[in-house]
A and B are shown apart, each in its own frame.
Chain A
């Protein structure tokens, strides 16, 4: 960690400790009830393992006496584990956070989750409010962006693509990197949105540039760092984390809109620790947690917490996103189309 980062971190933590932290109504009662439960388990696919660890230990610091156990995996694995628990009638997890909204929709249908309307909802950035479940069965607690990324040693900022259609320019032939919708919900949502904006023709033209197709969206970071690709449809958080270390990467917020990924959290009906789960959901929306998240380059969902330099707040940029229905119906369709067009 370089001095600058330490200074920023210190500065931020000072800010946090001096600013009055808005406690929500009924916090103390909930905390008291949660303390009796002692610990809870959180299945999460929301961020990298380091961020998940930091979020958990932040919670333990804020609410001493409650242990936060996290199982961080990819969305499919998290859901599969939960499905197995349910089948075996095991109550393990209290809180479940997938990056795939259809998981939460299905859990609602199957009656695996219980409603809760966090008091901290007023802190949520307005953009996200429309994504919460009207019945309170899931709430957006994390966000991410798919945008254009590039390697700065190979591409000058002025030459970098400005909008999604710029990736079709023949000058990027053999040098574009993308993920695969079968392996990444981020990529799937991006593909659905591109089809909505420009029709499937967008991908037929993209194929003329012979993109390098990885598995997860994070593979684009490896491709750019390896100089195997020059430009990519990549994620904001992972790219910025890698850039913070000094890797030659940069972001472009596309003129036609960065794809906004909203990732919800639910409380399970059979939660062994329902009160701790509710308290944790409040915490995920609150300031302390989002301060931790932006330090690790995740996007904040709390309207009072601004990102570190180098990134822009979701509230300030142009974001686009297909609706839940479009995602749920669209992803299986585009997977087939994708295989047809790219042969994989």
Chain B
């Protein structure tokens, strides 16, 4: 039988395509279709005319594009040097830096935005008051309600993507290539810029795309900063279409060009990296030694602490003050201190506890599903096991760019009617989170796999092992640390995902993000901060424990005892 000789990859391909069809194509197709539908269901282009017929709608879209690019660029400036320092140098305080980056990633971004309003509000921001106190000036220099302010806040919360992606890639590069450069007379800087970082280009570009897309699709932060700053973003404009009477079809039409932009970015990325090789990990094994930076390691630590101060330590000061304050508007004072907020959200409100459990379970399952799926697709695409693999990868990247609120509508349409009646169960949330963050998992997996030389798997196959064995025994262990990172960059966004959750949860499936958003909507900053604090402490502990389990960096095993 000829079938026996066919690689089982075809079956796998069909399974994966089926999964993508269910998770991505089905809801997205419904959205595309609805963007061409009138209220009565007839074909029309009127939605596009309504969505792009006004200059301010177009202007908001342009604002989002420009700000998204700026955020992506700033994320690279923040994230790449830090990833390099943590992965490849002897910089001190790595644990602290890593914990602060994790913390940054966990804090819900609208909580961070409120904290930044307190820090850099033009009238009464703490930093402005400090500046005035020190210099005697009338006004402080900081104003968060500007485009620059918005870029800074959004980049502060997105650069962890760059850090995690780049670090995973750097962890796979052995020191041999750097040694070669050094032997030929290049210094540390030249080696890093010409050898090390270019090898991680696929990862860096993937991270740039993810940060850019997230900046475009974010609602909470622009609502808090752009509106008072008197400019519109795509997501704040999108909200208009949900006003009464809601025009879901127009909203869908408005979000459609983003799919095109994603495809374009992705295509650009492929073009840039297609003709070069990025294989860092070969069968010859490798070893990684830490670069000795000398006095510069302190400068590097200074930079890391500067960035994490912006993203974590400074906002955390505000959050801590509010979480332990009876009334945060009264500021610091001893008689204003209380444990009541923490007690209230932990003990008195049973719903918070249930929601915490849901959040972690749904996020964990969704992250595992997304990662498994992403890895399988990335592997098939990378190793060119099937024709049209590229198509799969476009589909896998598509959902991220559709704003969650619009995506939720597609989900609702896709999963409320038989045969997929998931509404009211946890599955609709889990599947929504899986779909929404599949692109992050995919971008990460693809960049990671690109670094592994296929000869390793070929060796397994020559020795009689199957592809699955190659994945289980060779690729898996090699990627273990990188995958732990990938799990985090999917798990954490899933725990804070709001915009799709708010439409899909029901009684009994509440998640923390919805509770948090309610608190922010109610101006209840004390409880909001208390929940935020619990989230940060809990998740950082969980993640660090997880890393213990995963084990040490295998390439460093020879140099660290």
A residues at B contact (CB < 8 Å): 1, 41, 48-50, 53, 69-74, 76-77, 79-81, 83-84, 87-88, 90, 92, 100, 102-103, 106, 151, 174-175, 180, 182-183, 212-216, 218-222, 224-229, 238, 241-242, 245-249, 335, 339, 342-344
Contact = CB atoms under 8 A, between A and B. Distances in A.
B114 A222 contact: yes
Nearest to B335: A246
Interface stretch (B13-21, B169-177, B222-230, B457-465): B222-230
Given A247-B328, A339-B56, 6 more contacts: A49-B519, A76-B243, A103-B244, A213-B227, A219-B224, A220-B523
Contacts of A41: 506-507
For the complex of A and B, 4 pairs with smallest distance between CB atoms: A225-B329, A246-B327, A221-B523, A69-B507
B521 interface: yes
A218 B329 CA distance: 15
A343 B231 CA distance: 8
Contacts of A84: 409, 412-413, 416, 503
Interface of B: 56, 114, 117-118, 121-125, 145, 223-224, 227-228, 230-232, 239-240, 242-246, 248, 326-330, 336, 340, 349, 351, 409, 412-413, 416-417, 423-424, 502-503, 505-508, 515, 518-519, 521-526
B335 to A, nearest CB: 9
A73 B502 contact: yes
Contact of A151 (B245, B326, B329, B349): B329
B227 A246 contact: no
A76 B242 contact: yes
Most buried by B among A175, A182, A238: A182
B513 to A, nearest CB: 13
B111 to A, nearest CB: 12
Nearest to B507: A69
Contacts of B227: 180, 183, 213-215, 344
Contacts of B122: 174, 228
A109 B503 CA distance: 24
Nearest to B523: A221
Nearest to A242: B523
B244 A100 contact: yes
A84 B327 CA distance: 40
Contacts of A48: 518, 521-522, 524
B44 to A, nearest CB: 18
B283 to A, nearest CB: 54
A247 B121 contact: no
A88 B121 contact: no
6 contacts: A48-B518, A48-B522, A71-B507, A79-B246, A183-B227, A226-B329
A80 B118 contact: no
B351 A53 contact: yes
Contact of B243 (A174, A182, A246, A342): A182
B549 to A, nearest CB: 36
Contact of B327 (A182, A183, A245, A342): A245
Contacts of A224: 329
A343 B340 contact: no
Contacts of B349: 50, 53
Contacts of B417: 88
B507 A228 contact: no
Contact of B503 (A69, A80, A92, A245): A80
Most buried by B among A74, A103, A106, A174: A74
A248 B327 CA distance: 8
Nearest to B126: A226
A17 to B, nearest CB: 22
A71 B330 CA distance: 33
A344 B230 contact: yes
Contacts of B336: 246
Contacts of B114: 222
A222 B523 contact: yes
Contacts of B124: 226-228
Given A88-B412, A102-B244, A246-B327, A49 B518 contact: yes
Contact of B526 (A80, A245, A342): A245
Given A1-B340, A221-B523, A72 B243 contact: no
B246 A215 contact: no
Given A90-B423, A106-B245, A222-B114, A216 B503 contact: no
A331 to B, nearest CB: 8
Most buried by A among B246, B326, B329, B519: B329
